[in-house]
Amino acid sequence: VIPEDVARQIRLVGLDVDGVMTDGGVYMGMVGAAPAELKRFDIIDNIGVLLLRSAGITVVVVSGRQSAATDLRVQELEVDEVVQDDRAMKLAAFEEMLQRRELAWHQAAFLGDDLPDVPLLRRVGLPACVANARPEARQLARHVTEAAGGHGAVREFAEELLKARHEWERALEGYYADRGERPI
Ligand SMILES: [Mg+2]
């Protein structure tokens, strides 16, 4: 369970891509004469991102790897920003993004799974990992999702964060109201 005081400080959620928004698998091959790279994302994560943003929380995707599949996915998710660094140097890029948004480390959460995430997990106010995270990342996490990356981990983390802030009911009400429906 995420402590309420920690949850309420969070203004921005950072998400790693491979192993968090996906199961880490990458399909590589040729499509016609062109090399192609495909990944599997979980559509259940979409509403997690939507509800976080509806609650006024900025959502940023952080990838250490350039990929057309990732580009397509973040377009669909409508996240606030994509921080991409080909050398997997996530720290400097993330820090620059926080400064530009006038946010401090304690106001950020990050959901990661592997060594490139360690510098961010060490610094954010709410470090979190997926169930399949490597031990070096996991030992830094204040929250570990039951779901594995690519299997609803982003959705689960969004729900847990909003519940810890006592904003889950309101998020659901808003979701239904936007669609002209009564809440459950
Ligand atoms: Mg990863």
In the reported structure, the alpha carbon of residue 19 is separated from the centroid of ligand 1 by a whole-number distance in angstroms of 4
Question: How many CA atoms are closer than 13 Å to the CA of 3, on its beta-carbon side?
Answer: 8
| DSSP string for residues in 138-164 | HTT-SEE-SSPTTTTHHHHHHHHHHHH
Q: For 41-80, what is each residue's pLDDT tens digit?
A: 999 999 999 999 999 999 999 988 888 899 999 999 999 9
Give the closest residue to 120 by CA, choosing from 99, 91, 92.
91
Cα Rg, the chain, nearest whole Å: 16
Give distance in angstroms: CA of 45 to centre of ligand 1: 16
CA of 17 to the centre of ligand 1 (A): 6
Cα-to-centroid distance, 23 and ligand 1 (Å): 9
Q: What is the pLDDT of residue 149?
A: 98
Task: Count other C-beta atoms under 10 Å from residue 184's C-beta.
Answer: 6
Please report, in tens digits, the pLDDT of each residue of the chain (184 residues total): 899 999 999 999 999 999 999 999 999 999 999 999 999 999 999 999 999 999 999 999 998 888 889 999 999 999 999 998 777 789 999 999 999 999 999 999 999 999 999 999 999 999 999 999 999 999 999 999 999 999 999 999 999 999 999 999 999 999 999 999 987 7
Ligand 1 centroid, distance to 64 Cα (angstroms)? 8
CA distances to 50, 51, 184 from 55, rounded to whole Å, are 9, 6, 19
Cα–Cα–Cα angle for 177, 154, 108, nearest 5°? 95
pLDDT of amino acid 183: 79
CA of 80 to the centre of ligand 1 (A): 19
Give the pLDDT of residue 62: 94
CA of 89 to the centre of ligand 1 (A): 12
pLDDT at 64: 82
What one-character DSSP code corresponds to residue 42? Answer: -
- Virtual CA dihedral for 51, 52, 54, 58, nearest 10 degrees? -150
> How far, in Å, from the CA of 183 to the mean position of ligand 1?
36
The reported pLDDT for the residue numbered 117 is 96
pLDDT value at position 173? 94
The per-residue pLDDT for 155 is 98
Q: Which residues of 107-141 are buried (b: 16+ CB within 10 A; e: fewer)?
A: bbbbbbbbebbbbbbebbbbbbbbebbeeebbebb
Q: Ligand 1 center to residue 104 CA distance, Å?
A: 23
pLDDT of amino acid 154: 98
